[in-house]
Copies of this chain bind each other. A is one copy, B any other.
């Protein structure tokens, strides 16, 4: 992904959040990001695709930052879960992202709809897994229900808060509040064996998850491109990480645990540099890849 293109994406996201998706014209985006119409339609085949790219970017950044949080910490800590959940709200500037989802969801185009549905399912699946991490295996049958309830409470609270008080929501505080409600709910559900949607819906979700996969060649190509892109201005260890990752990828059976750790360090090296976004993108793909060959 081009730097310029990324800039356009960020501008568009800001406009969509400020004015709403349909109220933002392509013209607005062109003027605000100072590009021509031709360029825009060179980057994205439509306004919808632009929105799609924004959602994709948000997903990648969220997923990378969530992973970062877990490194070397206990997966069963509620505080960490709370942080991980807030990350999504921070990255997407929650107050207006839900409407964006809705906008795309009801825009007729079945392709876009499928995309959003998939992201939604992945979030559901992820959070469901984390809830089991924290509350233990015995909540597995209730995990899907709990996840939906948790997300519902969270989103609606945020929504109402914005509606009434206009101020920014304290995401961390809210998430902790909701998790405490979750504690009560889970007790109640286990006690009475009370289930509404049930866990079986997660089956086809997990299938959906593994759909997107990257080939070794793609990853090598992108790493190579990134390396050339750095050209000189780099500290030596940065190149070492990249070189190591490429070497390991070229092995017949890359060792996933190595890929994961080194990807983490690789990604860390570029935080707060101009290459952060590109590094994140690559890290995300590497992690996906490591998952698929596990």
Shortest C-beta distance, A164 to chain B (Å), equals 5
A139-175 vs B, CB cutoff 8 Å, 1 = contact: the mask equals 0000000001101111111001101110000000110
Q: How far is the CA of A102 from the CA of B100 in the complex (A)?
A: 9
Q: What bracket does the count of chain A residues touching chain B fall in? A: 35 or more
A187 at the interface (CB under 8 A from B): yes
Q: Is the interface of A mostly helix, strand, loop or mixed?
A: helix
Say yes or no: B156 contacts A152, CB within 8 Å: yes
Q: A177: which of B102, B177, B194 is its contact (CB, 8 Å)? A: B194
* Chain B residues near A153 (CB-CB < 8 A): 148-149, 152-153, 156
Report how many copies the assembly holds: 2
The B-contacting residues of A in range 108-157, CB under 8 angstroms, are 108, 117, 120-121, 124, 148-149, 151-157
A79 at the interface (CB under 8 A from B): no
Shortest C-beta distance, A181 to chain B (Å), equals 5
Q: A154: which of B105, B120, B152, B183 is its contact (CB, 8 Å)? A: B152
Please list the residues of chain A having a beta carbon within 8 angstroms of any beta carbon in chain B.
Answer: 19-23, 96, 98-99, 102-103, 105-108, 117, 120-121, 124, 148-149, 151-157, 160-161, 163-165, 173-174, 177, 180-181, 183-185, 187-189, 192, 194, 196-197, 201
